[in-house]
Amino acid sequence: MSDAYNAQAIKTVKFGGSSLADANQFRKVKAIITAEPNRRYVVPSAPGKRNSVDTKITDMLYTCQKLAAESKPFDDVLEQIRNRYLEIAQELELSFDPTDELNIIAAKLKSGATKDYAASRGEYLNGLLLSDYLGFPFVDAAEVIVFSDNGVLMQEETMTALRNRLSKMEHAVIPGFYGATVNGEIITFSRGGSDITGSLVARAVRAQMYENWTDVSGVLVADPRIIPNAAVINTITYEELRELSYMGATVLHEDAIFPVRAAGIPINIRNTNDPDAAGTLIVADDSADSDAATGYTITGIAGRKGFCAINIQKAMMNAELGFCRKVLSVLEELGISFEHMPSGIDTMSIILHEDAIRGREQTVLSRIRKAVSPDSCAIEHGISLLAVVGRGMRRTRGTAARIFAALAHARINIKMIDQGSSELNIIIGLLDGDFEEAIRRIYGVFVDASMQPEE
């Protein structure tokens, strides 16, 4: 057969665990795939939760492996896994039966199979099931996603393997989340890693679009737990998404961006439960009109709690050569990374994540005291960082003023401000107790005026 990629407008479609949690979700997935013939390469996750108290297949498989490693019985859990797949297959009137495969998995677990092997079987079995349901051939990810012996993805080898295989195929189902070393040892990505598989497949087949189907209608301007019914972002650049993800927005696995970004393939986040919604388009072009993002100056707001500040003060600090370097060397020697370093003339603060310093506070303080003999040096806990992200800020004056006016009206004290040279975001440090209200106020100013309380 000629190179199947020559056909235009190929789409790679990845479906997350909630999109494949039961037979009804499988039906929606099939309807989406058959609605567009160019949705040719399909990457499934393992069945996820059907409701908030349900357990993901991946987690059940980790449990089996843990029990097996402790020489405890795991048949009950394996039986639940079997029933999940069987129930889906029977409701869809398929002859697929995972029993034989599960017997092989059980035997391998009893003889010491790894966590990665166990977890990967969720996607493997779901891939077989979906391949049966769609009538698309199955390609085992162990044969096309290549890892080095120390567990690092080998991009070039993976591209070659995927291209060799898929160029001869009109359609395929390639399970997400795992691959293998050349010796056949199964390796998984970190959690949520099916997103990466989808991105790799999209790049390999030179897709025109990587559609990532999930259970929300796209990337939201703000966390819906803080802003119910938060607006959806129509278009966002890879850089903006990275800023928002770093600050806590959970949309895609962060490593999923790089393969498609390098090839200029846009990612479209779509909702399996609302397939008519356009979702969010993640694009490379940062000249893309910011108003197309949401119609607002900012693209998104995200933030995280759990930071602390090391506040250092010393008279004439500004005149002391190497002061900063000596302080940072202490952190470097202890292997502690920091987030921001706002400074005054005789003061400096180092903002870092609580996890980075937990249990070592006194060591850090005493080493800093020894290194630079400050007048005072103390740790302040309970700090949140909030990022207001938007490529439109570069061109719009007054964005910072609007943000800070909103916070001032709410009597929120700002502990730190940082605007990077990219002018893509403004990062604000505040107390944990002010975090949610700050997000509501900023959202109110830029997106939904009805959220602004009467002053």
Q: Which amino acid is at 439?
A: I
Kindly calculate the radius of gyration of the chain based on its CA atoms and give it in whole angstroms.
Answer: 25
- Residue 118 or 327: the one with the smaller Cβ distance to ligand ASP is 118
Interface segment toward ligand ASP; rule CB under 6 A; list 192-200, 211-219, 356-364, 391-399: 192-200
Other C-beta atoms closer than 10 Å to the C-beta of 284 total 16
Contact 282, 241 (CB under 8 A): yes
Query: Cβ 300 to ligand ASP, closest distance in Å?
Result: 22
- Residue 245 or 329: the one with the smaller Cβ distance to ligand ASP is 245
Query: Cβ 49 to ligand ASP, closest distance in Å?
Result: 10
For residue 453, what are the CA distances in angstroms to 159, 165, 201? 54, 59, 48
Assess 65 for contact with ligand ASP (CB under 6 A). Answer: no
What's the CA angle centered on 50, arms 44 and 52, to 5 degrees? Answer: 125
- Residue 198 or 429: the one with the smaller Cβ distance to ligand ASP is 198
> Rounded to 5 degrees, what are φ and ψ at 254?
-65, -25
Assess 63 for contact with ligand ASP (CB under 6 A). Answer: no
The correct pick among 194, 268, 384, 399 for binding ligand ASP (CB under 6 A) is 194
- Residue 250 or 318: the one with the smaller Cβ distance to ligand ASP is 250
Interface segment toward ligand ASP; rule CB under 6 A; list 127-135, 179-187, 190-198, 433-441: 190-198
For residue 445, what are the CA distances in angstroms to 45, 356, 409, 435? 38, 34, 11, 16
Assess 178 for contact with ligand ASP (CB under 6 A). Answer: no
For residue 118, what are the CA distances in angstroms to 64, 67, 112? 8, 12, 10
* Exposure of 434 in the CB half-sphere (CA atoms within 13 A): 21
Beta strands 414-419 and 425-431 are antiparallel
Q: Which of residues 122-151 bind ligand ASP (CB under 6 A)?
A: 122
Residue closest to ligand ASP (Cβ): 194
Q: Which of residues 93-122 bind ligand ASP (CB under 6 A)?
A: 122
- Residue 64 or 330: the one with the smaller Cβ distance to ligand ASP is 64
Query: Cβ 124 to ligand ASP, closest distance in Å?
Result: 11
Query: Cβ 115 to ligand ASP, closest distance in Å?
Result: 12
Other C-beta atoms closer than 10 Å to the C-beta of 419 total 15
Assess 191 for contact with ligand ASP (CB under 6 A). Answer: yes
Sign for the pseudo-dihedral over CA of 154, 159, 164, 166:
positive
Query: Cβ 191 to ligand ASP, closest distance in Å?
Result: 4
- Residue 199 or 299: the one with the smaller Cβ distance to ligand ASP is 199
Assess 58 for contact with ligand ASP (CB under 6 A). Answer: yes
Burial of 330 (0-12, 13-18, 19+ CB in 10 A): buried
Between CA 175 and CA 158 the distance in angstroms is 14
Assess 179 for contact with ligand ASP (CB under 6 A). Answer: no
Between CA 142 and CA 57 the distance in angstroms is 19
**Residues at the interface with ligand ASP (CB under 6 A):** 17, 45-46, 56, 58, 122, 176-177, 191-194
